[in-house]
Amino acid sequence: MKKLLFIGLFSALSAACLQARAQDGRANARVSRSPAASAKLRIRFQPVVDGQALERGKTYTDPFGEAYTVDRLRFYIGQVQLFSGNTPPGPIDPTHSTDPGHPAHPGRLAHPDNGYFLFDSDDSTAAAFTLSLAPGRYDSLSFLLGVDSLYNVSGAQTGALDPQKGMFWTWRTGYVMAKLEGSSPLSHLPQHRIEYHIGGFEGIHKVIRTLHLGFPPGTPDLPGASLVLKEGSVTEVLITADCNAWFRGAHEIRIAATPSCSEPGILAREFSGNYAKMFQVRRVSP
Amino acid sequence: MKIVLTFLLLLAGLGWCLIPPPAPTPLAFKVPKGWPAPGYDFKAHPLTKEGFELGRKLFYDGILSRDGNFPCASCHQPFAAFSTLEHPLSHGFNDQFTTRNAPGLFNLAWQTAFHWDGGVNHLEVQPLTPITAPNEMAEDLGAVIGKLQKDTAYRRMFRAAFGEGAVNSQRLLKALAQFTVSLVSARSKYDKVKNGEAAFNQYEQAGYLLFQQKCAACHREPLFTDLSYRNTGLSVDSALMDFGRMRITGRKEDSLKFKVPSLRNVYLTAPYGHDGRFSNLSAVLDHYNRGVIQSPTVDTLLKRGIPLTANDKFYLISFLGTLTDTSFVKDPRFMPE
């Protein structure tokens, strides 16, 4: 009988313990959420080349006829905001806090990991993230492509910004905001590698960009020009990221002449000007 | 009875998860009398006893390096004021050399940029460079975290310092910074003279006057550096091809500029210069006297070098000896356990 009593007591204590730890877990995962945020928006990125889904190792041709393959595409996304109305979104304060726990206004990114998301073409779990938002109609979205300068100057970060993610320069402090790696027969580097690591967070070398994307009207997938988030449901926006955009645009960059970029500077700025145009909203579902 | 004991043991075992770890004990950072306010943001990056102790253990532990042989302290030896004793360049993984002279580590709270070229903008992220450099500790950051997570003592110390949650790189780096930012050297004979607790002898006094006239513009008191970057007219080493700060800023005006090092503990931190080319202080002074190589970026204060007589050199070296802080290099708080 005594024994049974002890077993009973032990079970009760274990249960209490597990509950306490579960609560700890919830406390750690605390995210900023506005009270009205009851709809969910999933933003999924799909890497492509000229509209075709990217396959690792497959040979593609850049706008100048140069063959190349892609092993990895990575980029940081932060400070997602959604906008209603026909007026173009106003300027966004780049120093706006994205600290978890900071009360979010509807449409602000509400996501742990310092509010940053790292897309990684090599990791299927790193293709999408979900925000909690107020239900309603939205006409455009904006996000930061890169990591706000604040997080480049304030010491060790964690979550998506953990230097373990391989997106942090050690010899000169700063995040690699986006990287494209692969190979090309035209590259004169060892193993014909191509490596574009794009960073720079201050002054003339700043490559952080705020991008605005509309929801295109009249496509078969998307009958209206707006995104409608419904209470209690998950809506997914699929955004494609075209690798060929890295080479064309305001600046024509040829692999044969430029197989790598590994530090902030004029070349990194040119790449960022090009790849800022790589995104397109392709589909909204359901 | 046996059952009661078993139960008590189980209860004790459960205690760790029922009772949250006690909050870490705050540790005060003392600014020495008459010193400027530190550049380090102690509000955003507070010190705790547990964080400091974890940082100290990590600093002296080879676990941060690939083969276990290269703790931070292998290049930053306490008896050499946390520089490398008698090595122009330090040794790293697989018999390799570093590319610059290991600086002494002290008074880092007043520095806002690290390395000879100022390329690192926060003390917390500095260790990422030596940990991952193939010629230094040659380790992968993920592998370091993996090793630490497997270690019971470390898991306990991380929990004590930072509470519940995983051992991660942010906590590792914060702990290391709590230790290194606490390394304050402000109890040399010079400091005692300034505080009226000691007096210079006549040679030291003569040297101090010369120092104020000829050196203090860059080696500004009380830190004995103005933390600026300057070209002191050194030739470029053909093996290292090190152009200093230009690599960071990309500006040709910064070619061959390196951070002005503090002269505190200078007797303990030989050899000298960013690549350790000067084996003693006399060689450094000879360079300023007649070895400065003129170039477009050479410092304006060195356009004619710094003329020094043999007596001047003797007096200056006498004075520089007063900057040795024995209580700092022997401080038990900073020693391995």
Say whether A209 sits in a helix, a strand or coil.
strand
B313: number of Cβ within 10 Å = 19
Residue B174 sits in the same domain as residue B241 = no
Q: How far apart are CA A237 and CA A225, in angstroms?
A: 13
Residue B85 sits in the same domain as residue B147 = yes
User: What is the residue type of B269?
Assistant: T
Asked if the structure places residue B240 within a domain, the reply is yes
Which of B14, B18, B122 lies at the smallest CB-CB distance from A173? B122
Q: Which domain holds residue A38?
A: 31-285
For tokens 């494609």, name the residue.
A240
Q: Which domain holds residue B79?
A: 47-184
The answer to whether B128 faces chain A, any CB pair under 8 Å, is yes
Asked if the structure places residue A112 within a domain, the reply is yes
b/e for B212-233, b at 16 or more Cβ within 10 A? Answer: eebbeebbebbbbbebebbbbb
pLDDT greater than 90 at residue B16 = no
Q: How far apart are CA A120 and CA A45, in angstroms?
A: 9
- Using a 10 angstrom Cβ sphere, with 0-12 exposed, 13-18 middle and 19 or more buried, the burial of residue B153 is exposed
Asked if the structure places residue B21 within a domain, the reply is no
Asked if the structure places residue A265 within a domain, the reply is yes
* Domain end marker among B184, B216, B251: B184
Q: At B295, which CATH number?
A: 1.10.760.10
Q: Which has the closest alpha carbon to B123: B138, B134, B109, B144?
A: B109
Asked if the structure places residue B331 within a domain, the reply is no
Say whether B37 sits in a helix, a strand or coil.
coil
> Phi first, then psi: what are they for A51, rounded to 5°?
90, -15
pLDDT of residue A114: 54
Residue B168 sits in the same domain as residue B219 = no
* Predicted TM-score (pTM) of this structure: 0.86
Give the number of C-alpha atoms closer than 13 A to the C-alpha of residue B94, restricted to the C-beta side: 6
C-alpha distances in angstroms, B30 versus A21, A118, B24, B332? 38, 40, 19, 17
Q: Which has the closest alpha carbon to A191: A249, A99, A260?
A: A260
Asked if the structure places residue A8 within a domain, the reply is no
For tokens 């006498």, name the residue.
B318
For chain A, how many structural domains are there in total? 1
For residue range A170-228, list pLDDT tens digits in order: 999 999 999 999 999 999 999 999 999 999 999 999 999 999 998 876 555 555 567 88
The answer to whether B45 faces chain A, any CB pair under 8 Å, is yes
* Domain end marker among B129, B156, B184: B184
Q: How far apart are CA B62 and CA A236, in angstroms?
A: 48
For residue range A250-285, list pLDDT tens digits in order: 999 999 999 999 999 999 999 999 999 999 998 888
pLDDT of residue A115: 84
For residue range B152-207, list pLDDT tens digits in order: 999 999 999 999 988 999 999 999 999 999 999 999 999 999 999 999 999 999 99
Asked if the structure places residue B29 within a domain, the reply is no
Residue of B17, B47, B135, B162 for testing the chain A interface, max A β-carbons within 10 Å: B17
* B 186-205 residues with CB < 8 A to A: none
Length of chain A: 286
For chain B, how many structural domains are there in total? 2
Q: How far apart are CA A99 and CA A112, in angstroms?
A: 8
Asked if the structure places residue A199 within a domain, the reply is yes
Residue B72 sits in the same domain as residue B98 = yes
Contacts of A13 in chain B (CB under 8 A): 10-11, 14, 18
Percent of chain A with pLDDT over 70: 73
Q: Which has the closest alpha carbon to A178: A194, A162, A200, A211?
A: A200
The answer to whether B9 faces chain A, any CB pair under 8 Å, is no
* Both tokens assigned to A150: 């604040």
Which of B133, B165, B174 lies at the smallest CB-CB distance from A156? B174
Asked if the structure places residue A12 within a domain, the reply is no
Asked if the structure places residue A106 within a domain, the reply is yes
Asked if the structure places residue A5 within a domain, the reply is no
DSSP state of B227: -
Residue B157 sits in the same domain as residue B123 = yes
- Nearest-10 crossing angle of helices A2-28, B2-18: 10
Q: Which has the closest alpha carbon to A284: A238, A242, A240?
A: A238
B36: number of Cβ within 10 Å = 9
Cβ-Cβ pairs closer than 8 A, A with B, add up to 88
* Domain end marker among B134, B156, B184: B184
* A 180-239 residues with CB < 8 A to B: 205
* Both tokens assigned to B198: 């000691």
Strand partners, B153: none
pLDDT of residue A26: 31
pLDDT greater than 60 at residue B236 = yes
CB A112 within 8 A of CB A131: no
Asked if the structure places residue B100 within a domain, the reply is yes
Residue B218 sits in the same domain as residue B276 = yes
ipTM: 0.87
Strand partners, A46: A240
> Phi first, then psi: what are they for A100, rounded to 5°?
-60, 140
C-alpha distances in angstroms, A154 versus B37, B43, B123, B126, B174? 18, 12, 9, 12, 11
Asked if the structure places residue A14 within a domain, the reply is no
Chain-centre distance for alpha carbon B240 = 22
Residue A99 pLDDT class (50, 70, 90 cuts): very low
Asked if the structure places residue B25 within a domain, the reply is no
pLDDT of residue A96: 36
The answer to whether A116 faces chain B, any CB pair under 8 Å, is no
Mean pLDDT estimate for chain B: 94
The answer to whether B119 faces chain A, any CB pair under 8 Å, is yes
The answer to whether B18 faces chain A, any CB pair under 8 Å, is yes
Rg (CA), chain B: 23
* Both tokens assigned to B292: 């400065």
